[in-house]
Homo-oligomer: A and B are copies of this chain.
Amino acid sequence: MDMYFEKITILGVGLIGGSFARVCKKNELAKSIFGFGRQEENLRKAVELGVIDKYSLDLNEAVEQADFVLIAVPVGSILLLAEKMSSYLKKGSIISDVGSVKDSLVEKIENILPEGVHFVGAHPIAGTEHSGVEASFAELFEGSKCILTPTKLTDHETLQKVKKLWELMGSEVSFMEAVKHDEIMAAVSHLPHVAAYAITSFIFDLRHVWPDILSYSAGGFRDFTRIASSHPAMWCDICNYNSEALIKMIEQYETSLNQFKTLIKEKNWFQLEKRMSEAKTIRDGFYRSS
């Protein structure tokens, strides 16, 4: 399988897009890597750091003649970009994305893109709470999972090529239906983010009573709330595009939290310890074996 591209274009050269570009560079996957974004400062830095070769603030110029276009912008901007660039795309080119939400995007993108342009939805499950090209690094995807969500329209050869690309990134690639992807992500990623924001926001309110409250927190609190330092606009987008599955998961979590509260209220320490032990066992077991 030919894994060499004349021109790769990265739309959004941030943590994910930048890290992707770094691996392309390292593996010499392209003659040139082009960057596009809204913040010229970030793109200039990306060139300085050697993450991309060139950049343009003009979408047309950025994607024209590209063999591979990676849409690595926040979920809320993906459809708009797909629409704007659709008439400039080269026939036979491959388009992929890195959005954390798939069901509400993949089919729409397929409808937007012109015939002869091949799309595969992708979600690399990797990241840190930092953003911007300076936070990017070539090892970001190593050992992580990348989920591809092919549809009945997906071109087989393109799918294999995108799979291979993510394997070169160091990811373990799996295929999944977009709906299932979104429900699983709502549970293990989107819900924890909302829960962390909600707990930090609540502590924020308590500062009116105890201004120094955070100074009494320890490592547990720091780790528990780390994801509340993530990019708010990005997470609003994710909540928006995956709201149905997310609301379902928040409600199931509310039920679980309420059960714990009830056990405490009823002083049912036997059952509480049982529930806590189950949780500890599954977590310890997973992180020991992974």
Contacts and interface: CB of A to CB of B under 8 A. Distances in A.
Interface of A: 125-129, 144-145, 147, 180, 184-185, 187-189, 191-207, 210, 213-230, 232-233, 235-236, 239-240, 243, 246-247, 250-261, 264-265, 267, 269, 272-273, 275-280, 282-284, 286-287, 290
A279 B204 contact: yes
A144 B218 contact: yes
A205 B196 CA distance: 20
Nearest to A274: B232
Contact of A207 (B252, B255, B282): B282
Tallying the copies of this chain within the complex gives 2
6 tightest A-B contacts by CB?
A232-B276, A200-B279, A202-B256, A188-B217, A223-B223, A220-B227
A214 B201 contact: no
Contacts of A253: 198-199, 202, 257
B265 A247 contact: yes
B192 A284 contact: no
Contacts of A251: 261
B276 A235 contact: yes
Contact of A145 (B128, B216, B273, B276): B216
Nearest to A249: B202
Contacts of A282: 200, 203-204, 207, 214
B218 A196 contact: no
A246 B277 CA distance: 19
Contact of A254 (B128, B239, B257, B272): B257
B280 A230 contact: yes
Contact of A195 (B210, B216, B257, B276): B257
